[in-house]
Structure formats: structure tokens, C-alpha cells
Structure 1
Amino acid sequence: MSGSAPRGGLPDALEHVAQAHRAHHPRADLAPLRRAYLLAESSHRGQMRKSGEPYITHPLAVTLILAQLGAETTTLTASLLHDTVEDTDVTLDQVRAEFGAEVAYLVDGVTKLEKVDYGAAAEPETFRKMLVATGDDVRVMTVKLADRLHNMRTLGVMRPEKQARIAKVTRDVLIPLAERLGVQALKTELEDLAFQILHPESYAHTREIMRAHTAGPDPLRAVADAVRGVLRDSPVGAEVQVRPRHALSVHRAVKKRGPLGPCDFGRLLILVEDDADCYAVLGELHTCFTPVISEFKDFIAVPKFNLYQSLHTAFADPEGRVAEVLIRTRRMHRVAEAGVIALGDPHRRAPAEDAADPADAAGGADRPAGAREGEAERVDPTRPGWLSRLLEWQSDAPDPDTFWAHLREDLAQDREVTVFCGGGTLHLPAGATCLDAAYARYGPRAHTCVGARVDGRLTTLGTVLRDGDALHLLLAPEGASGPSPDWLDHVRTPAARIAVRRWLEAHPEGGTPAEAAPAPVADGSGPGGAGRPSPAPGAERAAVAVEQPDRPVRLARCCTPVPPDPVTGFPVRGGAVTVHRDACAVAGRMTASGRRPVPVRWEAGGGGCRVTLLAEAFGRPRLLADLTEAIAVQGAAVISADVEPPREQRVRHRYTLRLPDATALPALMRAMRGVPGVYDVARATRPVV
């Protein structure tokens, strides 16, 4: 293959790439592509692929794949050169000098990924590097995906065992990454190629089913004609296409539904100009046909984690044929097919859709200037939330094997749920719980999560979230609470699991600071001064001034004294001492009956305590939920709760609570009084019998 070309013209071999590129970027500057091709062709000259073709056919094919998806000039330039530094005498410094730092960075990033197939032991660290490179510039991953697609197309020249190994890595890691980057065009072809290699019998059977279906007229085309007729009479300009399912999609549909119906081998795609037209088309379809309501999904109002937007619906026509429909704008369609590739250069501050694509915008640096300066000013839609989460937890993974296991597990989640939380949206894998959402939303601060409300109702932290849930997380003050070992049973995402495990390892004593118990001490004399308190089962501790300072001490349940309440102790059976508040009616009765009190005082420094509070309120919906939330936010743990039947629209709540610090009681009571409808909160005492 010759690299010669007319002066200033394009080599013949580059024409297909240029045509595909200009279809998306009419004013693009093709000079960098010409120079990159000539360098790549001369560098690879004499090298052959295992198929017997000149090696230059590979970077050309990879570049054509990306050009057809709408990649900008910088990506295409790097794609043409992506094997030169690895396989020829060309150095990275040469690439940087000729094409700029941005192209050099992409070539270097892809080069570091080239060893991904060489040995299972190297895979974890290689993929860790791949994620880091992708996080810095997602275009590194898009070149790698196109590179893998062309290699998978030509995999038949390799030994079967190597084909299987490459196909497994493609299936387990690269295809899920393509899905998450939204590059559906690459993903679907990679899926079919891996399916053919790893499951040849199922693939052959599926292809036979598809051939049998295409042997006759396709009823979905008749349905499409009916839809065109309906939309022709509407004010919306729309294009209706039939989108056949690919092989793996048909295979999955057969496994899920059994034999497919006449319209199940494809879907209708309706393209319009703007968002409002999407909903107008939806209204026309649901008016003129019978909608299948359970199939409706609005991914325009709530896009998927990979930027995908469309309306999904299904309807039955008068003959009973059910057709699935996708409705989207043309821009949504470009993003649905090409994902992040359709979004262009993530480092350009003010991109213009048809602007020229200078390949050498940055000079003399190891990283494009746009990624260093003005980082805060630019919004990078190619750095989606799932990628940020992967980058965060991969840096915390303690070893490569743990990282590899968590990566495969995370990528194996082929479905996600969207949850509304904290004024924004969270995209979580299906099966994620409130705890997973807490760590995704708040990071390490989620250690203090004490409760959650889903759609306004209190629920457990291990509740599995559903698509569209509105989640409100309840956090205690810093240090007032922490994870318990059973949290590991309720987290599904690697980030949450690693964070919980690290906290538990740092706190081997277990429990939380909220479980600390208070300790009043003796106010007396005797050998040794202050006595050593002995715990009573399930009660807080105190010490008294008696001749034997080691007598067990309990805090009375009738008045639940807390520091700095004035308190008095009374001897009880068994030699123990029970401590009451001075104002307690039971203490008054005991004094009146002639019982001798024992002076006690609180230990300096205080500590945790248990207290019973009565909340008086006007009855209303969600009162219990709001009160419980106010308690949890203050860091108190509910030991027991009781609600009396309403009387004259008034209701009384009794809570027995454990506080991490007795000094927090006034703030807790103020917070409870601040709940709408609550008109009084007081310490509880038992009536004297």
C-alpha cells in the first residue's frame, strides 16, 4: 500500500476516513490526518498482520470505525498512530513534536493498554492503569474499544484457545465499559463477536432463528407504515425506521420470553427534531394505538448513567401486533449510538459543533493544557459519575486481586437504577441499598448514616432501592455513630464495601461512639477516694460514697437521670444503690417513708446516657417519621418508642433514647420541639402508685 499522495492532497487509502469524518465535521482540518497516515504507513512498512495483510490496514480500520461514529480530528490522528510507539522506531517525543501534547498523550495512553491480553496475572494492574488513563481522557478508552473491535473482527486467524481468552476479557470488561461509555454501536458488534466465539452452538441456533424470520415479510414494517400514516397527519415532522435486533439480543429475548412474536425481532425508531416533539409523538401513538403502559420509560427526563436519552414505549395495533418503540431527537440518536465519542473533545473550553479540529492545540507539555488550567470552569460530560466512582474506589482497593474482583463484579451489573437524593440524582447498580447510596452521595461521611426515608417513609439502611425512588438520608453528627459489621451484609457496591471494611479495620473494638456509657462517681470518703463503679446489667454506671465503694450502682428507670441533673442515691436489696433525680416523685416517696439517701455526684467529663422523653403534639400524617428523623439527626439511638392513641386530635409519643453525650440532651429536646405540630417535649417520670 503506497503512502504517496499529490502535494497537499490525501492518500487514496485515507479517502474513506476523510469522507466519514467530513460527514460529521464538514469544516475539519484534514492536514493532521494526512501527516499521521504518512508517518504510520512509513513506520509500519514491511510489517504484516497474521491475516497476511499489510499492518497499516489495522490503524486505518480502527480510525475508520471512530470516524464513522463522529470522533473529532485529534482522536483520529491518535488512532492512526496508536501502534507506532509500541511497534516501530517512532518515539513518543517525535509524536509530541509533530502533532502536539494532546495527540501524544492519547497515543501513550493507548500504548499502555496494549499488554492487556498478555497473561491473567497482569490483567488487574493493567486494567487499573486503563481506568486511570480513561479518567484523565476518555478518548483513550474509545480508541482502545475501536482497536479491540477490529481485532475481534479478524480473530479467526488465531488459535481457538487464544480466541476464547480474548473474547472472555472482551465480554467481562471491555463490553461493559463500552456500555457505560454509551458507545452502543461498538458494544453490540463486540457482543455478537464474543457470543459467536464463546457460545458457537447457541450463536448458530440464534442465527438460524433470525434467518427463518427474514425469509418472509416482516410484519414490523407494516406497523411502521401505519405509524408513518398517523404521524403524517400530525404537526410533528418525524422519521420512522425499523431497527432489527442483533444476535445476542435475540438470544436473550428467546431465553426470557420463549418463542418470539412476529414483531419481536426489531423495534421502531422514531427520530424528531426537539424534546417537545418526542412527547408529541408519544401522545399520537398512545391516542391512535393501545399502549402497553408497563413498557413506558422516560429516559429523556431522567437520562441513563451513560448519557442515553429516549422515550421507550410499546403499543398494540388493531391486529393485536405489539411493537416496541424508541422515540428520540437526532442529537439523542447520535449520543445513543456513539456515546462519549459524539461529545467531542472533553478538554476544549468552548466547543463548536462544526468547528475545525486542531490536532496540535497544546504544545510542549505532557498533558493537554485544558486539563490543567481552568479545570474548574469547564464541564466535562465525558467524565460521568460511574467513572468517577470507579476511579475513587480503585485507589482504595488494598491489592490488585481485590480490585480485579470488585471491577468484574461492578461491571457485571448490566442494569442501573436512578435515585433522587440530596437535591440531585444517583445512578446505582440494580440491587444497591440505602447504604450504597449514602456512600455514593457523601463518601466517608456516610459512616454516620443512622437512617433513611424512601418516598417519605422511614426504612432500614439495607433496603434495596428501586428506579425512581426519592431517598432522604439521615446523618448523625461527626463521630456520633459509625458502621457496624452487619453493614457488610447490606452494601453491594465496591466503593461502599471497601469504605465500611476500612472503617471496621480502623475500629477493631466494634460498636460506635454512641454506645459509650456514662459513669457518675462517688462523692465521698474512704480508702481510695472515688470508688470504682461496677456495672449493672443493661444499665449505666455510678459510684457512691459509702464504706464499701465497690457496691453496684444503677440509674433509676422511672426518671432516667442524666448529667448534670441533681441526683440522690438510695440503697436497695442486694447491696446496690439506685440513683434518682432529686425531683423524682419516687425519690420523694422514698424519702418520706424514711429511706436514708446516699450522696452521689456525676463523674467529671460526662459520657453517654439513656433518657426517656415525652413529646406532646397535634396529630397529623408523618408526625412519627418527622420526630424519629429529628432524633436520628441529633445522634440519639432509639431504644424503644411508644405512641398512645390520639385523644381530641392530640397524641403523646414516649421515646427511650441513648445519647452519645449527656450534654446533647437540651439540643435534642429543642430539635424535637421544632418538629411541626409538637408543642411540648419533657423528661418522663413514672407516676407514684
Structure 2
Amino acid sequence: MSAEATNPGNPVAPVQAGPPDLGEVSHRKRGRPRLELRGLRRIGRAALLGPAPRDGLPDALEHVAKVHRTHHPDADLDTLSRAYALAESSHRGQLRKSGEPYITHPLAVTLILAELGAETTTLTASLLHDTVEDTDVTLDQVGAEFGKEVCYLVDGVTKLEKVDYGAAAEPETFRKMLVATGNDVRVMSIKLADRLHNMRTLGVMRPEKQVRIAKVTRDVLIPLAERLGVQALKSELEDLVFAILHPEEYATTRALVHAHAARPDPLAAIAERVRAVLDEADIDAEVLVRPRHLVSVHRVRLARGTVTGTDLGRLLVLVAEDADCYAVLGELHTCFTPVISEFKDFIAAPKFNLYQSLHTAVTDEDGAIAETLIRTHRMHRVAEAGVVALGNPYAPADGSEPAAERPAAGADGDGGDGEDGERVDPTQPGWLCRLLEWQRATPDPDTFWTSLRAD
């Protein structure tokens, strides 16, 4: 269940965590469209009217479906429509403190995943992710209606009952979730989107509960988002946690960013020069100024003691092919003064979390340094969405068994280790295999939970 939503007897509402426009700031700082926030308002209004269909699609699903179709034009929307109908009817009568129907939470989680490009099976499970935990719907019903994969994903994110596990419920729930992720990484992508929406709406919780949830997010879920490469979720989670756990530093950093926003952006001028250089070299490229999120600005300030206008963002150059990345690099290092110590090639040697990009920094004639990322459009999608960008990584091309029946990561014969000790198969990375082996050797829930959060 959402950490801040429950039945009418104990309802809690979605209200902003931290300053009132925190969610808006975090979206603007990464330069992404405000589709999600506008979509949530539309979803909230539609959900109040119930599941009445129009042209075969419930009103509340229209925005989700539109976003989903931009990534998957041939997606089966009938499956999503049936999942919404079950979720809406089973959650009917459950409210958030704002008075909105509880269905707005699974809809918001589904929209987050749709914007990252998740495929239909993941979105179906995200619509249903709280039904088994909070309603009379059973896993058998979910499996019968939507199949084994959806049933597995819903089970993977369903919390264990405190009535049965007492104080061990939270650590054992995370243990269960990790094991399920070993079979299917989409389990954790749903959990991360669920936590992101909960963090966005954490403001009505008691301060001590906000702090407790923020610390678990910082200690466990943000590192997992980093490991799975879901940078878009990780960045916003970091800013939301920052606002709750370090409100003074957050306010200082936010004021610093706002102060610079009133001045001309030096990166915009450098970006214009880069466009001219690449146009002259006949390289088809998109050059963007990519603002840093607030935690990233805070880290720069701590490392350098001061922040200039060029420190508040980086240049992002997007091209079509891998070879174009190196052509762009050559032009930049020829026409600008490169900062050689800043060069890193994550295309030839990708990071453990699928990330690929060229990193460099160049200096203009005024001495301003512009950190620059160079990648293809495909690399950019993966950099933002990580494993979510894989679509359905378990879709059998040869009639092999579905994801829920595969052996867990770390089982004998799975994949193989790359040179850096990570699994070649991105759905079963080496760090996850090692984590699962460790949790099997740590049966005590308190020891498991303490070590997981510390390490």
C-alpha cells in the first residue's frame, strides 16, 4: 500500500513534501516536460467520475494511454482498460486525505512508468499493485485475469502483513522484493515509481514519519535506482529526500538556483557556439542545456566552495549513431580548449547500470568551463530509464519460459560475469546476484535490514 494512503477510517492525503512547489522544481531542473503533473490533475478529475468508458477507454486512462502509445504504438490498451476497471472497483470507497479516490495513486504510479517507456505488462501490474494488499482481490484472481507475469509482479511489490511479521514486516518485505527482483527487475521499477509518488505526497505525514520514510528511501531505494540505472527517478527521489532530511541546505541551494535563474545563462551561449561548430562540420546533433537537480548543485557547491552559472547545468549533445559521438568529441576538442582530466568514455566501457555516454568538459574564450555529455538518443533513453527502457526484457523470442518461472539471479548457469564482475545480462546484474546470495546467508531480519541500509 502507499505509505500515505489507506481506507476511509484512516485516510491520508497527497500533499507536497518540502516547499509547496518541490515537485515542479525537480521537474524543471531536469528540463523535462510537465506532462506528469498535468496528467495527474486530469487523472484525479477523471477518477472521481469512476470508470465510465469513452470509445472503449476509461476517461482516467486517456492520458496514460496517450503517453504509453508514444513509446509503444501497438500497445494493447484493452488489457490496461481491464486492469483499471478491476483496480477502480476494488479500491472504490478508499480515499486519500485530500478526498481523492485512492485509485489516483496507482494511476499516478502507472503514469510515471509510462513516461519512462515501460511496456504494457509493467503498466498493468502497476495499476493493480495495491489490490492484493488493500482489497479483497486475490493473487489467484489477478493471475487468472492477467496471466502469470502480471501476477508475479503484483506479488513482488505486495507488502507482508504486520499482523504476521510484527516488527520484521518491513525488512522481510524488502527481502521478498529483492528475491522477486532477482527473477524480474520490473518488480523494483514498480516499487521505485510507487515510492516516488509517495514521496511527492508525503507532506501530510507526521514529521517523524516523513523522516523515517525519507531515510529508508535514501538508504535503500535511491541506491537501487542508481544500480538499475533509473536516473530520472533517482534524481527526483534525491531532491525530495534532501528537502525532508536537510531543509536548511535545501533552502540555501534552491535560493542559489533561483538567484542564477534571473541572470543570462552562460551555458546557453556556449550551446549556441557548439551548434554552430557541429553544423559547420555537417554533424546532425541536438544540443541542449541540461540543468542539474538540486542535490547535484549542492554537491558541486560542497566540492568547489562556490557555484558559477556554468556549474548549474551541463551541455547534452544527442546524435543518431555511436560513431557520431566520437565525431562530436573530435570537433569539440578541436574548436574549444578541452579539460583533459574530465574526459571519460562510458561508451567503450559502459557503467554497471547500462549507462553509456562520453563525458568531457570544454572551455570557451572567457574561461567558462562547460561539462558536456555526448550520447545517442537510444543511450539517452537508457540513461534516464535504465532497466525500464529495456521494455519487456523477458519476452521469449523462442517460446522459452516466462519470467516468473525463470531461476533467480545468482542461480547456477545464469548469464556470465563481464570483466568488471557484473553480469553481462542486464536483467541479472552481478551486484544483484551477490546481494541475493548475501541475503540468503543472513536469516535474521534485524541483521539483514541494518546491513542492507548501511552497505
TM-score norm. by structure 2 comes to 0.82
Cα distance between partner residues in 2 of 1:7 and 1:232:
47
SS at match of 1:386: helix
User: Which residue is equivalent to 1:96?
Assistant: 143
**Structure 1, unpaired ranges of 5+:** 352-360, 411-689
Match of 1:178, as an amino acid?
A
Equivalent-residue separation in structure 1 for 2:156 and 2:250 (angstroms): 34
Deviation at 1:46, TM superposition (A): 1.2
Distance in structure 1 (CA, Å) of the matches to 2:123 and 2:445: 33
- Separation (CA, whole Å) in 2 of partners of 1:289 and 1:137: 45
- Report the AA paired with residue 144 of structure 1: K
For 2:147 and 2:57, the matched residues in 1 are separated by 21
Amino acid at match of 2:194: D
- Closer, same or farther: CA 399–371 of 1 in aligned 2, 3 Å: closer
- The corresponding residue for 1:548 is none
| Structure 1: distance between partners of 2:121 and 2:111 | 14
SS at match of 2:177: helix
Q: CA deviation at 1:216?
A: 1.2
Secondary structure at the residue paired with 1:242? strand
What residue in structure 2 maps to residue 305 of structure 1? 352
Q: How far does residue 376 in structure 1 lie from its aligned partner after superposition?
A: 6.4
User: What amino acid is the match of 1:385?
Assistant: G
Q: Which residue is 1:14 aligned to?
A: 61
Q: Residue 368 of structure 1 aligns to a residue in which SS?
A: helix
Contact 1:100 1:362 in 2 (8 A): no
Residue correspondence of structure 1 range 154-233 to structure 2 within 5 A = 154-233=201-280
Match of 1:368 among 395, 401, 404: 404
Cα deviation code 1:71-104 (max 9, x no counterpart): 0000000000001111111111111111011101
Q: Of the candidates 107, 114, 127, which is equivalent to residue 80 of structure 1?
A: 127
Structure 2 counterpart of 1:387, which letter? L
**Partner SS for 1:264:** helix
Give 1 or 2: higher helix fraction: 2
Which residue pairs with 1:148 in the alignment? 195
Q: Percent identity?
A: 76
Is 2:423 aligned against 1:387? no
Q: Residue in 2 aligned with 1:337?
A: 384
Aligned to 1:269: 316
Q: Distance in 2 between matches of 1:403 and 1:305?
A: 24
Contact 2:290 2:313 in 1 (8 A): yes
Partner amino acid, structure 2, of 1:173: V
Distance 1:119 1:330, change over 3 A: farther
The 8 Å contact of residues 343 and 382 in structure 1, kept in 2 or not, is answered as: no
1:149 and 1:362 map into 2 onto residues whose CA distance is: 34
8 A contact 1:102–1:362 mirrored in 2 = no
| Shift in alpha-carbon separation, 1:303–1:136, aligned structure 2, 3 A | same
Post-superposition CA distance 1:209-232 (Å, at most 9, x none): 000000111111000000000000
Name which of 32, 36, 39 aligns with 2:79. Answer: 32
Alignment partners' CA distance in 1, 2:281 and 2:400: 50
2:124–2:150: 8 Å Cα contact kept in structure 1? yes
- Report the 3-state secondary structure (helix = DSSP H, G, I; strand = E; otherwise coil) of the residue aligned with 1:28: coil
* Bigger strand fraction: 1
Give 1:370 shift. Answer: 6.1
2:200/2:240 contact within 8 Å kept: yes
The offset of 1:409, in angstroms, is 3.5
Question: Displacement, 1:8?
Answer: 6.0
Structure 2 counterparts to residues 428-443 of structure 1, below 5 A: none
Whether the 8 Å CA contact 1:347–1:370 is kept in 2: the answer is no
| Pairs within 5 Å for 1:520-539 | none
- Aligned counterparts of 2:167 and 2:287: Cα–Cα separation in 1: 46
Work out whether residues 161 and 169 of structure 2, in 8 Å CA contact, stay in contact via their aligned partners in 1: no
Contact 2:322/2:375 (8 A) holds in 1: yes
Within-5 A mapping of 1:317-466? 317-350=364-397, 368-369=404-405, 380-397=425-442, 399-410=444-455
Residues 339-365 of structure 1 deviation map (CA, whole Å, 9 limit, x = unaligned):
0000022221339xxxxxxxxx999x9
> Are the aligned partners of 2:95 and 2:101 in contact in 1 as well (CA < 8 Å)?
yes
Distance 1:318 1:38 in 2: 60
Question: What is the CA deviation profile of residues 565-621 of structure 1, one whole-angstrom value per residue up to 9, with x for unaligned ones?
Answer: xxxxxxxxxxxxxxxxxxxxxxxxxxxxxxxxxxxxxxxxxxxxxxxxxxxxxxxxx
> Which residue of 54, 63, 76 corresponds with 2:110?
63
Taking structure 1 as reference, are residues 328 and 120 closer, same or farther at Cα in structure 2, changes over 3 Å only?
A: farther
Distance 1:20 1:113, change over 3 A: farther
C-alpha distance in 2 between matches for 1:75 and 1:114:
24
Q: Which amino acid aligns with 1:246?
A: H
Query: What is residue 134 of structure 1 aligned with on the other side?
Result: 181
Aligned ranges 1:437-516 → 2 under 5 Å: none
**Larger RCO, structure (CA 8 Å, separation 6 or more):** 2
Who wins on radius of gyration, i.e. which is larger? 1
Is this contact kept in 2: 1:82–1:111, CA < 8 A?
A: yes
8 A Cα contact 2:168 2:446, kept in partner: no
Question: Relative to structure 1, is the Cα distance of residues 239 and 120 closer, same or farther in structure 2, using a 3 angstrom cutoff?
Answer: farther
Aligned-residue RMSD, C-alpha: 2.4
The equivalent residue for 1:506 is none
Report deviation, 1:158: 1.0
Listed as ranges, the matches of 1:614-629 within 5 Å are none
Q: Deviations over 1:154-182 (max 9, x none)?
A: 10111111111100100111011101110
Shift of 1:389: 1.4
1:50, distance to aligned residue in structure 2 (A): 2.4
Q: Report if the CA contact (8 A) 1:183-1:340 is conserved.
A: yes
The one-letter code of the counterpart of 1:392 is E
In the TM superposition, residue 257 of structure 1 has moved relative to its aligned partner by: 0.5
SS in 2 for 1:333: helix
Q: Post-superposition shift, 1:400?
A: 3.2
Alignment correspondent of 1:592: none
Question: Gaps spanning 5+ residues in structure 2: where?
Answer: 1-47, 417-423
Mapped to 1, the partners of 2:289 and 2:251 lie a distance apart of: 24
- SS of residue matched to 1:348: coil
- The 1-side partners of 2:251 and 2:160 are apart by 32
